[in-house]
Amino acid sequence: MTTSLPRRPGVSVRGRVTELRDGRMLEHEDRLAVEEPLEIRLAAPALAAQRLSVTMRTPGHDFELAAGWLVHEGICAPDTIRTVRYCTDADLTPEQEFNVVTVELAAPPLRLPAARMVSSACGVCGAESVSEALEGHTTDVEVSIARNLVHELPERLRAQQRGFDRTGGLHAAGLFEADGTTVVVREDVGRHNAVDKVVGSRILASAPVPPVLVLSGRIGFELVQKATVSGVSVLVAVGAPTSLAVRLGREAGLTVIGFTRPDRCVVYAGAERLID
């Protein structure tokens, strides 16, 4: 007798839907974006593995998500991450397979917050204050970007959104060089998760984080925080920023651009980085 290996969850699943169109009810198959919990555990010298967070996310690039989240939360420095692996404890339930990740550090954590639940709409809920979210972080003032390139970035991001093409239910984040070169794009049901994933990909590759971050949706303050902690200088989004995102962006020296279209964009902070 043989048993099949557990199948890793994917980005989307099939489902039957009823669509109302032109006064008719049409039944057909559709695809839904997957949202499942990811438990992040942390181990370090003299510290047994313990749960820090359970975040709702779209499966895929889970190691990057965990690494990016830990660095963005100020729990560890990028160069102290030793290994990231799926938990293989014998007592895991089938629902926990590939939904529990353990990050092992080579040094003690910078801080150890209490374990908590993070929704797919929440980013830095663990920060004790707004000021704490940006403390000690600034952006590179030498970075500049061409005005005409800014208008093209959302479409370059959109061209990489394969999960959105299938489901219509995923956000995307992409890291770009100042000349518009695409470095990495990731998708997730949560905006903040997508950012954690793209930055985490650079952390695990021991590579620098490019200066431009492009988002498929709006800009909340938690995304400004993640961008600034990661060393991003220019944040470009299809949607609008919040008032707090703009204020924090200005304080951090971040260029914040919203409502980005081929013929229009609105610069809320850092317009001096835009060049002809």
DSSP conformation letters of 99-158: SEEEEEESS--S--PPPEEE-TT-S-TT-SSHHHHHTT----TT--EEHHHHHHHHHHHH
Instruction: State the catalytic residue, choosing from 87, 122, 125, 265.
Output: 122
- pTM here? 0.87
Work out the average pLDDT over 40-46. 95
Asked if 53 and 192 count as a contact pair (C-beta separation under 8 A), the reply is no
Which domains does the chain possess? 36-129 (3.10.20.10), 145-275 (3.40.140.10)
| Nearest by Cα to 56 from 84, 41, 37 | 37
**% of residues, the chain, pLDDT over 70:** 87
- Confidence (pLDDT) at 93: 72
| Nearest by Cα to 213 from 163, 167, 165, 260 | 260
Ramachandran sector of residue 46 (left: φ over 0; alpha: ψ -120 to 50; beta: rest): left
Output phi, psi for 98, to 5 deg. 60, 15
Least confident of 36-50, 53-67, 134-148: 134-148
Q: Flag whether pLDDT at 276 surpasses 80.
A: yes
- Confidence (pLDDT) at 133: 54
DSSP three-state, residue 199 = helix
Q: Flag whether pLDDT at 197 surpasses 80.
A: yes
Rounded Cα distance between 199 and 70, Å, is: 11
Burial class from Cβ neighbours inside 10 Å (0-12, 13-18, 19+) for residue 97 reads middle
Q: Which residues contact 49 (CB under 8 A, 6 or more apart)?
A: 41, 42, 43, 87, 102, 104
Task: Give me the chain's average pLDDT, please.
Answer: 87
The pair of three-digit structure tokens given for residue 229, joined into one six-digit string:
């902690």
- Confidence (pLDDT) at 86: 93
User: Please, which pLDDT band fits residue 207 given cuts at 50, 70 and 90?
Assistant: very high
What does the pLDDT look like over 151-187, one tens digit per residue? 999 999 999 999 999 999 999 999 999 999 999 999 9
Range with the largest mean pLDDT of 11-15, 29-33, 260-264: 260-264
Work out the average pLDDT over 4-29. 75
- Confidence (pLDDT) at 50: 93
- Confidence (pLDDT) at 81: 98
What does the pLDDT look like over 61-87, one tens digit per residue? 999 999 999 999 999 999 999 999 998
Is residue 122 among the annotated active site residues? yes
Asked if 224 and 200 count as a contact pair (C-beta separation under 8 A), the reply is no
- Confidence (pLDDT) at 25: 78
Give the bridge partners for 101, in sequence order. Answer: 40, 86
Q: Flag whether pLDDT at 129 surpasses 60.
A: no
